[in-house]
Amino acid sequence: MARRILIDPVTRIEGHAKISIYLDDEGNVSDAQFHVVEFRGFEKFCEGRPFTELPSITPRICGICPVSHLLASAKAGDAIMAVAIPPAADKLRRLMNLGQIVQSHALSFFHLSAPDFLLGWDTPPPRRNVLGLIAANPDLARAGIRLRQFGQEIIEVLGGKKIHPAWAVPGGVRSPLTEDGRAKIRAWLPEAGATARTALDLFKQVLKKHGRETQIFGNFPSLFLGLVGPDGEWEHHGGKLRFTDSSGSIIADQLEARSFKDFIGEAVLAASYLKAPYYKPLGYPDGMYRVGPLARLNVCSHIGTPKADAELKAFKKLGRGAVTSSFLYHYARLIEIIACVERVEVLLDDPDLLSEDLRADAGINQLEGVGVSEAPRGTLFHHYQVDRNGVIRKMNLIIATGQNNLAMNQTVAQIARHYVRGNDIPEAMLNRVEHGIRCYDPCLSCSTHAAGQMPLHVRLVAPDGTVVREVTRS
Amino acid sequence: MAAKTLTIDGKEVSAAEGATILEAASDAGITLPTLCHLEGVYDVGACRMCLVEIAGTPKLLPACTTQVSEGMNVTTTSERLQQYRKMILELLFAERNHVCAVCVANGHCELQTLAYRQGMDHVRYDYCFPKWDVDITHPLYGMDHNRCILCTRCVRVCWHIEGAGTKNVAGRGAKAQIITDLFQPWGESDTCTNCGKCVMSCPTGALFYRGATVGEMERDRSKLEFIVTAREKKQWIP
Domains located in chain A, CATH noted: 3-24+32-447 (1.10.645.10)
What is the band of A425 on the pLDDT scale with cuts at 50, 70, 90?
low
Q: Which residue did the predictor score with more confidence, B49 or A466?
A: B49
When pLDDT is averaged across residues B230-235 and rounded to a whole number, the result is: 91
Mean pLDDT in residue range B93-109: 96
- Give the pLDDT score at B1: 64
C-alpha A449: how far from chain center? 15
| Greater pLDDT, A122 or B98 | B98
Greatest mean pLDDT range, A331-335, A415-419, A424-428, B172-176: A331-335
- Residue A438's pLDDT is 86
Q: Does A451 have pLDDT greater than 70?
A: no
> Is pLDDT of A465 > 60?
no
Interchain pair A170, B211: CB under 8 A: yes
Confidence of residue A9 (pLDDT cuts 50, 70, 90): low
Q: Which of A1-5, B23-27, B145-149, B158-162 has the lowest mean pLDDT?
A: A1-5
Helix (H, G, I), strand (E, B) or coil at A456: strand
Q: Do A60 and B101 touch (CB under 8 A)?
A: yes
* CB within 8 Å: A55 and B136: no
Under a CB-based contact definition with an 8 Å cutoff, are residues A463 and A39 in contact? Answer: no
C-alpha–C-alpha distance, residues B123 and A439, integer Å? 41
- Which candidate, B69, B29, B64, B27, places its Cα nearest to that of B49? B64
pLDDT in tens, A199-250: 999 999 999 999 988 999 999 999 999 999 999 999 999 999 999 999 999 9
The whole-number pLDDT of residue A458 equals 32
Query: Rounded mean pLDDT of chain A?
Result: 87
Cβ pair A53:B187 closer than 8 A: no
The reported pLDDT for the residue numbered B222 is 87
Average pLDDT (A407-421) is 84
- How much is the average pLDDT of B45-70? 96
Which residues fall within 8 angstroms of residue B184, CB to CB, at 6 or more apart? none
ipTM score of complex: 0.88
How far is residue A167's CA from residue A174's CA, in Å, rounded to a whole number? 5
What pLDDT score was predicted for residue A31?
75
Query: With 60 as the cut, is the pLDDT of residue A473 above it?
Result: no
Spatial distance between the Cα atoms of B23 and B26, rounded to a whole number of angstroms: 5
- Of the candidates A130, A104, A125, the residue with the CA atom closest to the CA atom of residue A115: A130
Does the structure show a pLDDT above 90 at A433? no
Whether residue B215 and residue A50 make contact (CB cut-off 8 A), yes or no, is no
Looking at chain A, which residue has its C-alpha nearest residue B97? A45
Say if the Cβ atoms of A391 and B215 lie within 8 Å: no
pLDDT confidence of residue A456? 30
Task: Please tell me the distance from the alpha carbon of residue A119 to that of residue A107, in angstroms, as a whole number.
Answer: 17
Phi and psi dihedrals of A285, rounded to 5? -95, 5
Chain A residues lying within 8 Å of B139, measured CB to CB: 363
The verdict on A47 touching B (C-beta cutoff 8 Å) is no
When mean pLDDT is compared across A111-115, A240-244, A356-360, the lowest value belongs to A111-115
Write down the architecture of domain B83-232 according to CATH: 2-Layer Sandwich (3.30)
Please list every residue in chain A whose beta carbon sits closer than 8 Å to the beta carbon of residue B213: 52-53, 55-56, 166, 169, 174
Mean pLDDT within A442-465: 44
Q: CB–CB of A389 and B137 under 8 A? A: yes
pLDDT band (50, 70, 90) for residue A314: very high
Is residue A457 over pLDDT 50? no
Contact across the interface for B213 and A169, Cβ inside 8 Å: yes
Per-residue pLDDT band at A67 (split at 50, 70, 90): very high
**A418 compared with A235, residue with greater pLDDT:** A235
Chain A positions touching B101 (Cβ under 8 A) are: 56, 60, 164
Distance from CA of B20 to the nearest CA of A (A): 41
pLDDT at A453: 33
- A472, pLDDT greater than 60: no
The whole-number average pLDDT for the span B140-158 is 97
pLDDT above 50: residue B103: yes
Contact A49 B134 (CB under 8 A): yes
Q: Which residues of B touch A (CB under 8 A)?
A: 101-102, 104, 133-134, 136-137, 139, 142, 187, 210-216
Band of the pLDDT at A424, cuts 50, 70, 90?
Answer: low
3-state secondary structure of A340: helix
Please state, as a whole number, how many other Cβ atoms lie within 10 Å of the Cβ of residue A60: 17
CA gap B81, B84 in Å, rounded: 5
Contact A30, A5 (CB under 8 A): no
* A389 vs B contacts (CB less than 8 Å): 136-137, 187
Averaged over A242-270, what is the pLDDT? 94
Lowest mean pLDDT of A185-189, A299-303, B212-216, name the range: B212-216
Residue B58: pLDDT over 60: yes
pLDDT band at A459 (very low <50, low <70, confident <90, very high): very low
E strand map for A62-119: none
What is the distance between the alpha carbons of residues B202 and B38, in angstroms, rounded to a whole number?
A: 10
Say yes or no to pLDDT of B48 above 90: yes
Q: Residue A57: its chain B contacts at CB < 8 A?
A: 102
Cis peptide before A221 (omega within 30 of 0): no
Q: Which of A166, A361, A389 sits opposite B214 (nearest CB)?
A: A166
Residue A445 has pLDDT above 60, yes or no: no
Q: Is the pLDDT of residue B138 over 90?
A: yes
- pLDDT at position A2 over 80: no
pLDDT for the residue numbered A467: 41
Query: What is the spatial distance between Cα B24 and Cα B9, in angstroms, rounded to a whole number?
Result: 12
CB–CB of A166 and B211 under 8 A? no
Please tell me the distance from the alpha carbon of residue B31 to that of residue A97, in angstroms, as a whole number: 46
Q: Which of A174, A389, A392, A393 to mutate to test the interface with B (most CBs of B within 10 A)?
A: A389
pLDDT in tens, A73-91: 999 999 999 999 999 999 9
- Delimit the domains of chain B by residue range: 3-77, 83-232
**CATH hierarchy code of domain B3-77:** 3.10.20.740
Bridge partner list, A223: A289
